[in-house]
Amino acid sequence: MNVEAMKDAAGARAAALVTADMALGVGTGTTTERFIRALAASGIRPQVVVPSSLATGRALAAAGFAVHEPAGVRRLDLYVDGADEIDPALQLIKGGGGALVREKLLATIAERFVCIADERKLVPALGTFPLPVEVVPAAVAAVAERLLGLGDAVTPRTGFVSDNGNRILDVTGIDLRFPGEVEALLDSIPGVVGNGVFAHRRPDLVTVGQADGSVREVHRPV
Ligand code: 5RP
């Protein structure tokens, strides 16, 4: 089975969890696009739909959903999003699409966070995928210098401006044996707006599209 079909399967399983009375948050990325497609096909129109990025807002509008801006939203029933890496404790690296700050915001205010992924995203330990760090423009050089002390290389994402008007630095070689500590440390650096480690808000459930066509549900360990 190809990767696209695995993403379809993971997205469809999450779409089956959505009901019309929900306030729903929607993540960003190619797997999330599959979720949007499956939700649109189901005919269910949640009461409130909140995108984690401008791109997702456009995709939702194109699929016929009325979209609410995150700024006015206090809580969500469900947040559905992809990930770049998922470890056995369901800690994540996210932000490959550069939407990590709004994604973490929506995941944090959601009663339930469901991550959707193909099985290639499951890893024994986080740290191969470059870790995205969102930085205010004025702090790019200073934060890059500081991050060089934590990783092997820091690469500014060329030509990319986040939906919040910020830059992304991708960090490789950072020691992620204790993801929660790294998440907090990075957030404490002046100029950093957010980082792609999701250790404090892990998903409650991951729907994993597998090569044999099935979907495995992995629940967060207590
Ligand atoms: C965007 C994200 C995405 O969820 C992550 O990059 C996975 O994307 P894809 O489903 O395209 O593999 O964090 O900021």
- Cβ-Cβ contacts under 8 Å for 197 (sequence gap 6 or more): 91, 92, 93, 126, 131, 176, 179, 180, 182, 183, 186
CA of 175 to the centre of ligand 1 (A): 21
Give the residue, by CA position, lying nearest to ligand 1 atom 4. Answer: 82
Question: Mean per-residue pLDDT for 78-82?
Answer: 98
**Can you tell me the distance from the alpha carbon of 170 to that of 155, in angstroms, rounded to the nearest whole number?**
5
Q: Is the CB of 163 under 6 A from ligand 1?
A: no
Q: What spacing in Å lies between the alpha carbon of 97 and ligand 1's midpoint?
A: 5
User: pLDDT-based confidence at 1, cuts 50/70/90?
Assistant: low
pTM of the predicted structure, to 2 decimals: 0.97
pLDDT in tens, 109-168: 999 999 999 999 999 999 999 999 999 999 999 999 999 999 999 999 999 999 999 999
Does ligand 1 have an atom closer than 6 angstroms to the CB of 30?
yes
The gap from C-alpha 106 to its chain's centroid, in whole angstroms, comes to 9
What pLDDT score was predicted for residue 176? 98
CA distance 162 to 182: 22
| R_g over Cα of the chain | 17
Secondary structure element (H or E) that encloses residue 167, with its range? strand 167-172
Identify the active-site residue in 4, 33, 85, 103.
103
Q: Do the beta carbons of residue 38 and residue 11 sit within 8 Å?
A: yes
How many CB atoms are located within 10 Å of the residue 119 CB?
18
Active site residue 103: yes
What is the 188 CA–ligand 1 centroid distance (Å)?
A: 24
**If you take atom 8 of ligand 1, which residue's CA is the nearest one?**
29
Query: What is the set of domains in the chain, with CATH numbers?
Result: 3-123+200-219 (3.40.50.1360), 131-196 (3.30.70.260)
pLDDT of 3 above 70: yes
Residue bearing the CA closest to ligand 1, atom 1: 97
Q: What is the dihedral of CA 166, 56, 119, 77, to 10 degrees?
A: 100
Q: pLDDT averaged over the chain?
A: 97
